[in-house]
Amino acid sequence: MIRIVFWAALIYIAFWAWRRFKAPARQSAKPRAQADEHAPAMVRCANCGVHLLQTRALQQDGDWYCTQPHLQEGPRPRAR
C-alpha cells in the first residue's frame, strides 16, 4: 500500500515540477503581449500639436484632435 502512495506522490511531484518548469516560458511571453496590447497609443493633435492618448483623442479624416473645437478648426501647420 505504501508503494502506491509513494508512486502517486512521485508522479504528483513530477507533474508539479514539470508545470513549474513550463510556466516561466509562458509567463515571460505573456506580459509582453499584454504590454503591447494595453500600451496606450499616443497621437498628436493636428491643430495645436499636443500629444494625448488615442483613446481620448477625436479622429477626423485621418487626423487626431485633442478637443472638439480643434477638430472643428481642422489641421493647422505647426508654428515653428
Please enumerate in sequence order all residues whose Cβ is within 8 A of that of 71, keeping only pairs 6 or more positions apart, or say none.
Answer: 47, 58, 60, 65
43 versus 45: smaller Cβ distance to Zn ion: 45
37 versus 61: smaller Cβ distance to Zn ion: 61
Can you tell me the distance from the alpha carbon of 61 to that of 73, in angstroms, rounded to the nearest whole number? 13
Shortest Å distance, C-beta 61 to Zn ion: 15
Supply 8's cell numbers: 502517486
Residues that bind Zn ion (CB under 5 A): 45, 47-48, 66, 70
4 versus 41: smaller Cβ distance to Zn ion: 41
